[in-house]
Amino acid sequence: MSDFVKVSRDGDVAIVTIDNPPVNALSFHVREPLLQALVSLRDDPSVAAIVIACAGRTFVAGADITEFGKPVQQPDLRALIATLETIAKPTVAAIHGTALGGGLELALGCHFRVADAGAKLGLPEVKLGLLPGGGGTVRLPRLVGAVKALRMIVSGSPIGATEAHAAGLVDAVFEGDLTAHAVNFAREIARKGGPYTPVRDRDDGLEETDLAAFDAEAGALAKKARGLEAPIACAQAVRNAVTMPFDEALAAERALFVRLVASDQSRAQRHLFFAEREAAKTSAKDIVKRRITRVGIIGAGTMGGGIAMAFANGGYPITLLETSQEALQRGLGTIEKNYAVSVTRGSLTEDAKRQRLAQFKGSTDYADLADCDLIVEAVFEDMAVKKEVFGKLDAVAKPGAILATNTSYLDINEIAASISRPQDVLGLHFFSPANVMKLLEIVRADKTAPDALATVVDMARRIGKVAVVVGVCHGFVGNRMLAARGSESEALLLEGATPSQIDQAFTDFGWPMGPFQMGDLAGLDIGWRNRKARGLTAVIADTLCEQGRFGQKTGRGFYLYEADARTPIADPEVEALIRTKAAEKGIAPRAISAEEIIERTLYPMINEGAKILEEGIVARSSDIDVVWVNGYGFPVGKGGPMFWAGLEGAAKIIERLEYWHDRTAKDVFKPAPLLKAMAETGSWEAGASI
Ligand code: 3HC
Ligand code: NAI
């Protein structure tokens, strides 16, 4: 017996319990005793059946991700499953919580799987840039069919117990004491007598595979992969399960796994997995958090409406405040319309929609915010207006209520200093549309109380956000680095690139869209207003706005938009405008390579990231990666700007920044001291933790 794997008996049924908190990952210290237990139970004539169950909150959630990239210690998962399949007596996996990745593969090594009604089953390896490497691609299709397996493995999304039952992945679903049910199930099966066919020898799911339909579906999924290798490898492996004998397909799966696990893409995605979890931790671990029962939102515009929906979706009752009944009704109307769209799309039931809307209380009276525990302000981006709102909150909010601002750029320390309770003030910087976008920058102001901060970090998880704690600076992490990228995009236009050429370089890099497509989508007028307020200019974008070209919403921006209003069409008028403006500035056009585009837009971003680190705005460089992947579409396969910088090499980045700084004398190219230090030590992560 080991601390991690315990064996008990219920009559002639043996129960093997894996106990490796928090998620029962299949670490070496689990695999070794598990193998021993299975061998000894296999050879023990007094055992009629074996149940594999887990202690704690979940069944096995997968291989131990921290072991990837290190030498494999035997027995590996494949050896474990192979041994499981040598057992002639019935083996039953009892699944509660989640059976993910190697966890589901272990269960597929059993003859039978029974599940708690609330359990979820899936192979999410693709999200780590991998494919299931413990036979999942070869065994799952044998039970659920090739197309269903393809969808599950390429999406990485788990399915519920009921769906898994209907698909043939689990044999029975129970409510209540799962282990007891599993033991009864195993005993009954043993009583009926064998032989019991291991999944590897079953082909129920494969019998009627239509390979042409499979290929069509795989092709469509591959198109969405956007440069990621793992989804393509997943599809290939499932296809092999159909076209090759079991052992051959298993060996092919292994070869693909070995290739992927060593790839930069998988390293990047594993980095992000841990980075997201790190970013959400505050140093104050044992702190007593404040209670949040009701949430107040001020302003029912673009952001306020979305933020209110995000909280409502997380189960919070909302008080939504506006300046007039008219504005309030408009805001509530938009919220109702958005929920109705979800119903039409099938992602929300009519009942759930009614329930969500019932969580909203509208008001135009600040006194109605007195029972709110958290109040988020999303009014106009204007310091005087924000201070006025916070002054009113100071008068009406209950003691200890957390007062948050959704400001994009304003100084939260200044807002906090304007009221009597700065310790309760912080920033909650949501991204548009706030009910959809995963990222939440939580801004810690100088006087923010640690318990207020810890409370909102917790709350972020409850409303499904990926939270990153950041400090106060202009634009925080995301928008500050975006500005560093943006200034060069316009300069490249003037020097001879076209919007399409720049956007193409971005999509080739793996971004979902380039800066000009993104500007057109978000609305060019937002940046224009912001620049005017700060006395800044961007000659091309400003001229487009003066011509009423705000992007998709006006049918014209950097591109033209026709019928579906979403597909950008290159506009010769815009290209002529660019050339005219360049000529006025005396800039002669020249050919610009994709490499130069990436270098001049992304290296300044990394440089700004280094300054952000240096100033202590974030605790670690991986926080910046989490912001960019979840808020701005930085390609996951590159792990975020700072991880990618590590791959590029700090020395190369410095060399190119200095080159461009010599030529242009622009500040964005002046290497940050921290970046220089990193280049000297040759280690990005080591430097980043300075
Ligand atoms: N290996 C190592 N650590 C893991 C892990 C894993 N597979 N899964 C979770 N953890 C760690 C997390 O890093 C976290 O550690 P921390 O507390 O020190 O930050 C802790 O377990 C708890 O994780 P969460 O905060 O994510 O807990 P939740 O309750 O929110 O979620 C979960 C639980 C749904 C299981 C989620 O952790 C998850 O999705 N885990 C990853 C599942 C996965 O990808 N499995 C496949 C692994 S690859 C594989 O199996 C390859 C095989 O085919 C060969
Ligand atoms: P918006 O103009 O769509 O909405 C602002 C709303 O606030 C309006 O409905 C207005 O009637 C209301 N309002 C103004 N003063 C008020 C007051 N004193 N009391 C109550 N309500 C009041 O603006 P948007 O885009 O929603 O922006 C709001 C805030 O969110 C700004 O600080 C902005 O910088 C920030 N933000 C905006 C993002 C975006 O993409 N639009 C993204 C992230 C943050």
Q: What is the ipTM of this complex?
A: 0.95
Question: CA 559 to CA 570: how far, in whole Å?
Answer: 5
Cα(273) to centroid(ligand 1), Å: 8
Which residue's CA is minimally distant from atom 38 of ligand 1?
A: 61
What pLDDT sits at residue 687? Answer: 36
Q: Is the CB of 629 under 6 A from ligand 1?
A: no
What pLDDT sits at residue 654? Answer: 93
- Of 126, 96, 123, 97, residue with least CA distance to 108: 123
Which ligand number lies closest to the CA of residue 67? 1
Nearest-10 Cα torsion for 237, 241, 246, 249: -20
What pLDDT sits at residue 685? Answer: 52
What pLDDT sits at residue 480? Answer: 95
Q: Is the CB of 66 under 6 A from ligand 1?
A: yes
Instruction: Quick: pLDDT tens for 251-295.
Output: 999 999 999 999 999 999 999 999 999 998 776 668 999 999 999
184 CA to centre of own chain: 40
Cα(362) to centroid(ligand 2), Å: 16
- Where in the sequence numbering do the catalytic residues fall? 105, 125
What pLDDT sits at residue 682? Answer: 62
Q: Is the CB of 98 under 6 A from ligand 1?
A: yes
Cα(22) to centroid(ligand 1), Å: 8
Question: CA 632 to CA 627: how far, in whole Å?
Answer: 7
What pLDDT sits at residue 684? Answer: 59
Q: How far is CA 137 from CA 85, 121, 270, in A?
A: 17, 14, 20
Strands 374-377 and 295-298: parallel
Query: Coil, helix or strand for 242?
Result: helix
DSSP E strands in 66-190: the ranges are 91-95, 98-100, 112-116, 120-122, 159-160, 172-174
- Of 262, 237, 236, 263, residue with least CA distance to 250: 237
Which ligand number lies closest to the CA of residue 432? 2
Which ligand number lies closest to the CA of residue 132? 1
Question: CA 457 to CA 451: how far, in whole Å?
Answer: 10
Which sign does the torsion angle of CA 562, 568, 570, 572 carry?
positive
Cα(145) to centroid(ligand 1), Å: 27
Cα(15) to centroid(ligand 1), Å: 24
Whole-number percent of the chain with pLDDT over 90 = 88
Q: Is the CB of 65 under 6 A from ligand 1?
A: yes
Tell me which residues of the chain have a pLDDT lower than 50: 686-690
Token pair in block for residue 333:
């109307």
Q: Is the CB of 132 under 6 A from ligand 2?
A: no
What pLDDT sits at residue 686? Answer: 37
Q: Is the CB of 479 under 6 A from ligand 2?
A: no
Q: Is the CB of 81 under 6 A from ligand 1?
A: no
